[in-house]
Chain A
């Protein structure tokens, strides 16, 4: 969990050219003023890093803080592992 959060913070900092040491799980995405193209790059990097598909404009994912992003990615990973698990 912590590892995933660190990797996500690293991705966001790199793609949006932000200082990773200033990002916490409570940081609000709005405050970061991420440009739309950076956002697309961030989502792509997250998908590539965790091999998941992040749905577009999905109302099930309310992303306000970095914690929401980490939780969302965890959900996607769990869903994917659920799909991959052999059906008994």
Chain B
């Protein structure tokens, strides 16, 4: 078994288009949530989202390449380029064949799909011809394939899809591959870009969306806010990273996953706490060693109270000493990419000893009575952290990180 370390991170999301700007916004407690500027909103009842700003795909990709890339693949590639550059890893000399590329996404190429269906259906008066590149753009594994092509990665490559846990399942699988020796290194992450009219309407209809903003764990919270973005990490064996003198951000020390086998939308504290306990055990961490949890914290009534119960169940007396925050209050719910941008937040918290806050917090809720680091970042050196993802369908995936 090998120790697995993170040597490079990349991300693009509403708070910032690279790790430095994203992290700086998170530390300042500034929410990037606001009214949509890109989706036709005359018929939208819920108009707040967390959109990426100042992103011009043409600045990142050649015209011919761009034809092949749905926005979710574009974001994944941008994040991956940042991560590989920061890590300094080179996939030559055979390493490409021993590297995995695993990318989680919940929805895949939703922009492509919506455009295609709009063209075809249009209330029965649509075109009978379809855009030729619809399939390669929309397929849920497209982002993973593009990562492999971009960097010459010829080892295990696929997508994971488990709704809002997709990214954490991708990290978990990549972590186990590197740990077991199945792969020598991995590019892993998650991406989502489904801020489209149809998607927003569908989320509106299931009635978990806040009309104002996302206030995780706060009294007066009204639901979640959709975001978009991608995050990618370079995972390597500890000894390889040391040998090449890489800058190690932290250790990816453990992974836990469970399924509730309960309800398709309601969360369960038993399933969620089981995944946290499994991640701790896998990492060989005592609960008392954890200083921070980047919570799933969607801002819905059900998630935040259930997650609070789950944390108490997994941590016992130590729960009240934990710092817990939901950075979704700033970058929105990135769905299949959520665990990826949140891994960036958790890893940077470990590296810098700064806990990003839960923004938009107003007042305590009796059902959420732990320390959620309200509104202001906190200087606090920590040794280890968890990053939680609990998806619709009861799919729970938790990562454990340790400072080296």
Binding site for B on A (CB under 8 A): 36-37, 39-40, 43-44, 53, 55-57
Contacts and interface: CB of A to CB of B under 8 A. Distances in A.
B115 to A, nearest CB: 26
Interface string B202-243: 000111111100000000001100000000000000000000
Contacts of B211: 55-56
A57 B45 CA distance: 13
Given A55-B211, A56-B222, 7 more contacts: A37-B264, A39-B207, A40-B205, A43-B207, A56-B209, A57-B223, A57-B301
Contacts of A39: 207
Nearest to B220: A59
A43 B223 CA distance: 17
B209 A37 contact: no
Contact of A56 (B223, B264, B302): B223
Nearest to A53: B45
Interface string B288-302: 000000000000011
Contacts of B301: 57
Nearest to A56: B207
18 contacts: A36-B265, A36-B266, A37-B265, A39-B207, A40-B205, A40-B206, A40-B207, A43-B207, A44-B205, A55-B45, A55-B211, A56-B207, A56-B211, A56-B222, A57-B210, A57-B222, A57-B223, A57-B301
Contacts of B209: 56
Interface string B184-217: 0000000000000000000001111111000000
A56 B299 CA distance: 13
- Provide the main secondary structure of the chain A interface: helix
Contacts of A43: 207
A55 B212 CA distance: 12
B196 to A, nearest CB: 20
Most buried by B among A36, A37, A53, A57: A57
Contacts of B45: 53, 55
A44 B211 CA distance: 17
Contacts of A44: 205
A3 to B, nearest CB: 26
Contacts of A55: 45, 211
Nearest to A57: B222
A47 to B, nearest CB: 9
A36 B209 CA distance: 15
A53 to B, nearest CB: 5
Interface in B228-272: 264-266
A55 to B, nearest CB: 7
Contacts of A56: 207-209, 211, 222-223
A25 B222 CA distance: 28
B38 to A, nearest CB: 22
A36 B267 CA distance: 12
Contacts of B206: 40
Nearest to B300: A57
Contacts of B205: 40, 44
A43 B45 CA distance: 14
Contacts of A36: 265-266, 302
A37 B393 CA distance: 13
Contacts of B264: 37
Contacts of B222: 56-57
A55 B207 CA distance: 9
A82 to B, nearest CB: 17
